[in-house]
Amino acid sequence: MRISLLQQDIAWENKQENFRRLEEMIFSDKNTPDIYILPEMFNTGFSVNPRPISEPAISITYEWMKRTAAGKGSAICGSYIVSEGTHFYNRFVFISPEGETFTYNKRHLFSMGGEEKAFTPGKSRIIFTYRGLRILPLICYDLRFPVWSRNRNEYDLLIFSANWPAARKEVWITLLKARAIENQCFTAGANRIGTDETGANYFGGSMIINARGEAVSIGDENSPCIVSADLSMDELTAFRAKFPVLKDRDNFSFDF
């Protein structure tokens, strides 16, 4: 499987401009990966004022993702703000070229940025299979909570869509590698660049890491780019068989 991370600046709360920028990257890409992975809140930037920019589950952003996936022949995924009744969710959405859809609501809301005051946290993980890989999608701050991403031999690819600031660059790199090593999985982190309206600066550093904790593809800092890698299930299966860490894992259940 080939995956590609789209590292781009995000126009503040301007969905149409962000769609335009992403379409330019996707449709000028000479490759057709199995999956394009976008950053957190790729259509607005990380806003904690959801009411004016949120949308129902099936609306403008969903339709853009569905149309783009079908047009390119690649699945597309990332998070954006979804409203359901009086609740707002930071929701990861994955759409295949055929329109198959999987969603996950961000569990760990960034309290230092006020996210927990405006959004409702998710209550469950989702693991789905796409083209032979079992995938667990998570969002940004979830990266800091290893229990939530613990692999109970359930998945092969761990995805993080993020708006991770430059001030915590080393944390981003360290934790992405740690999650890959401890869970014996491929790990992909898609991050943005630029400075948002709150003054937060983002460095990019999008990367794809193998189960040994080695970065096999890294995005340039502070530059828009596509970060790609081919993931081999045969290689992952062989490594897990040679060094079977997951068989010694602790068994547990989540309690809310």
Query: Which tokens go with 247?
Result: 């068989």
What is the C-alpha radius of gyration for the chain, rounded to an integer number of angstroms?
Answer: 17
**Are 12 and 241 in contact, with CB atoms under 8 Å apart?**
no
Distance CA 110, CA 104 (A): 16
Q: Tokens 């989540």 — which residue?
A: 254
Beta-carbon contacts of 154 under 8 Å, excluding residues fewer than 6 positions away, are 127, 134, 136
Q: Which of 40, 115, 177, 185 is labelled catalytic?
A: 40
Contacts 24+ apart (CB under 8 A), 118-127: 118/48, 118/49, 118/50, 118/88, 119/48, 119/50, 119/88, 119/89, 119/90, 120/87, 120/88, 120/89, 122/89, 123/256, 124/254, 125/254, 126/102, 127/154, 127/155
Please say if 169 is a catalytic residue.
no
Please say if 40 is a catalytic residue.
yes
Q: Which of 106, 115, 177, 185 is labelled catalytic?
A: 106
Distance CA 160, CA 223 (A): 19
Q: Which of 66, 77, 115, 140 is labelled catalytic?
A: 140
Q: Which residues pair with 217 in a beta bridge?
A: 208
Distance CA 52, CA 61 (A): 14
Task: Tell me the C-alpha to C-alpha distance, in Å, between residue 99 and each of 93, 230, 231, 244.
Answer: 11, 23, 23, 36
Distance CA 193, CA 171 (A): 16
Q: Which residues are catalytic?
A: 40, 106, 140
